[in-house]
Copies of this chain bind each other. A is one copy, B any other.
Amino acid sequence: MTTSPLALPFPDLPPVSGVMLRVARAHYKAWDRCDLTFAELTPGTIVAGVLTQSRCPSPEVEWCRQALVLGRARALVVNAGNSNAFTGKRGRAAVEAIAARVAVQLGCQPSDVFVASTGVIGVPLPIDKAEAGLDAAFVAAPCGWREAADAIGTTDTFPKGATTTAMVDGRTVTLVGIIKGSGMIAPDMATMLGFVFTDVACEPAFLQAALAAANARSFSCITVDGDTSTSDTVLAFATGAAGNAPLVDHDCPGADAFRAALADLCRQLALLVVRDGEGASKLIEVQVTGAESDRSAHVIAMSIANSPLVKTAIAGGDANWGRVVMAVGKAGEPAERDRLSIRFGNTQVARDGLAVEGYDETPVSAHLAGQEVEIGVELGLGDGRATVWTCDLTHGYISINADYRS
């Protein structure tokens, strides 16, 4: 697998106190690499999560949804190479077996164990391989973030991680995240799984609200091909080891700083997924302003970001703003042709429903020749705004998905 041209180097990530990582070979596929990740979390760690809206979710997603109600976590297990989705009772049994084995090892409740899997759909996760992999992980030497980021990947072309800090209650708290996926796309090999670890002390409800808010501006604002996974999972774990006065609600000192840091981290992670979008050669930011509401702006922005005609035009370096008009028109949200303005980068190409007279295509072509492309749409109706990110649609996408046999 060729590394994406949009790849970024894996950053130096600091340890998060209270988090111990180990990886092992469960041999879920015929490959010689670690494919089981085991994160042990200090007692008292709290957890929040956002999960796929798919009506056909994996048993892992259902397990996490139930366990999140309790808000406590002692471990995370991630399986790569088999998503365990659409496998009925046998799939559920595999998740329960993993949770039970970890619970015995750590002396905790099975509901303290979070499980996520990614890979082919429709094949029950083999319990014997999972158990053998776990037993190997239990006795493995602790590893770093890079090893874990590698072990959770499938068709990813580069490992993805990010970090940030926040000042809370006079202490510096650390946030680290790792993520895998080549977009929101789901099947077979490309589920998006993201994990955030922090040493902040906080209540589960606070962490859940902060994660939901961050998600709305990050993971929910990216798309590679509009195909939503059966297994998409983002979990945030807070060990409390920083020793700050626990964050309870938005009014606590430091709450805003932590929320901002978490939002920044999620945005970094989300953009890394787009950078590894299947076949991607350009990162596209779509900014919609002047909509009737933020929600309406988001729908229009996603309509543009999911339009194969817009994405192929960008791949071809073509300032084809007519395709942007088309995507605005088909979104079904309020829009008035005669108020619509469109720009590529900083160059206005259409204003008030008309092509700009004699506009100079030179700066637009230069902008589109780069790796990062910005499309701006001003609707002229209100104050609603949204920003989403996607990648272009290239021959590489077709090769990866059509020339591949499940």
Q: What CA separation (Å) do A355 and B84 show in the bound complex?
A: 12
Contacts of A86 in B (CB 8 A): 322, 325, 337, 340, 350, 353-355
CB of A406 within 8 Å of the partner chain = yes
In the complex formed, the residue of B with least CB distance to A231 is: B326
Residues 344 to 358 of chain A near chain B (Cβ within 8 Å): 350, 352-355
Residues of B close to A334: CB separation below 8 A? 55
A405→B315 CA distance, assembly (Å): 11
Instruction: Give every chain B residue within 8 A of A226 (Cβ-Cβ).
Output: 306-308
Flag whether A332 is at the interface (Cβ < 8 A). yes
Cross-chain contact A398 with B401 (CB below 8 angstroms): no
B56 touches A316 (CB 8 A): no
Task: Give the Cβ gap from A64 to chain B, nearest Cβ, in Å.
Answer: 16
Interface residues on A, range: 35 or more
Bound-state Cα–Cα, A335 to B186, Å: 18
Contact residues in B for A185 (Cβ distance below 8 Å): 309
Nearest B residue to A184 via CB reads B330
Q: Does A329 contact B (CB under 8 A)?
A: yes
Q: Which one of A121, A327, A395, A402 has the highest number of Cβ atoms from chain B below 10 Å of its Cβ?
A: A402
Asked if A403 lies at the interface with its beta carbon under 8 angstroms from chain B, I say yes
CB < 8 Å neighbour of A328 from B56, B120, B306, B312: B56
Are A309's CB and B394's CB within 8 A?
no
Confirm or deny: A227 has a beta carbon within 8 angstroms of a beta carbon on chain B: yes
| 26 A/B residue pairs, CB under 8 Å, sorted by A | A53-B332, A54-B329, A55-B330, A55-B333, A55-B334, A86-B354, A86-B355, A88-B352, A88-B353, A121-B326, A122-B322, A185-B309, A187-B323, A187-B325, A227-B309, A227-B323, A227-B327, A308-B401, A312-B398, A313-B402, A316-B401, A316-B404, A318-B402, A318-B406, A394-B402, A395-B402
- Bound CA–CA A336/B54 (angstroms): 11
A327 to B333, CA, bound (A): 23
Please state if A85 and B325 are interface contacts (CB–CB under 8 Å). yes
Pair A309/B225 contact, Cβ less than 8 Å = yes
Contact A54 B330 (CB under 8 A): yes
Is A230 an interface residue when CB atoms closer than 8 A count as contact?
yes
**Are B397 and A188 in contact, with the CB atoms below 8 A?**
no
Complex interface: chain B residues within 8 A of A320 (CB) = 187-188, 406
Question: Taking A56-B328, A330-B54 as contacts, is the C-beta distance between A308 and B227 under 8 angstroms?
Answer: yes
Q: Is A321 an interface residue (CB 8 A)?
A: yes
A335–B55 CA distance with the chains assembled, in angstroms: 6
Tell which of B122, B312, B336, B354 touches A401, judged by Cβ atoms closer than 8 Å: B312
